[in-house]
Amino acid sequence: MIIEDGTGRGHSAQINDENMVMTASVVSTNEHHINHKHGEAYNALFAVNPDGADDCIFYIKNQDDTDMCVEGIWLQTSAAEEVYFKIGDTGTAVKTNGADITPVNLNAGSGKTADILCYSNTLDGAVDITGLSGGNTFQKFWLTNADTQLFNFEQDIIVPKNQTFTIYCVGGDTLIRGTVIFNFHDATIG
């Protein structure tokens, strides 16, 4: 059986005996498509020495109209540390110690910048981001001595405009380095 394309251009598709359309296609991940086609994939790097116990060590707030999708995070620690991730913290983030973080666009030809507020620190600097409350903890875990871990969020973390993603440490007595991997994707656009 043959199906005509309906546009009058004479293209057709073949249907096999199991009623499946016969195709040849190129498949890529949504992340690759967002980076390659739209130039909206980023990494936010940080390196911190927390001021103390239960400090917020990384803060990112989406200011874009498009949803921010956090794909995962690399973390490395110099000693055992318990870390947890939250979404939806509210309040005005104050960098008691810390710095503005500018995420790197992962498409060298894009020229776009992420429309976000992002605070942490670099070069193993002290950090404590205060002024936040509420939110929901969605993952908590231990990093062991001199450990490096990739945490891939199987469902992705969706951060709409004016919402937040934060990282906290429980002990606050270790150096922590990380890379937050994210992109901007409008679910209504391919």
The answer to whether residue 67 scores a pLDDT higher than 80 is yes
pLDDT at 98: 87
pLDDT digits (tens, 9 = 90+) for 124-143: 889 999 999 999 999 998 88
- Distance, in Å, from the CA atom of 190 to the CA atom of 188, rounded to the nearest integer, reads 7
Q: What average pLDDT does this structure show over 154-176?
A: 93
Break the chain into its structural domains and give their ranges. 43-184
97 touches 146 (CB < 8 A): no
What is the CATH architecture assignment of 43-184?
A: Sandwich (2.60)
Q: What average pLDDT does this structure show over 70-91?
A: 94
- Label residue 96 left, alpha or beta by phi (over 0 means left) and psi (-120 to 50 means alpha): alpha
Contacts 24+ apart (CB under 8 A), 90-93: 90/132, 90/133, 90/134, 90/135, 90/164, 91/131, 91/132, 91/133, 91/134, 92/131, 93/56, 93/59, 93/61, 93/117, 93/119, 93/129, 93/130, 93/131, 93/132, 93/164
pLDDT at 26: 75
pLDDT at 96: 85
pTM of the model: 0.86
* Closest to 98 measured CA to CA, from 48, 141, 138: 48
User: Which amino acid appears at position 178 of this protein?
Assistant: G
pLDDT > 70: what percent of the chain? 94
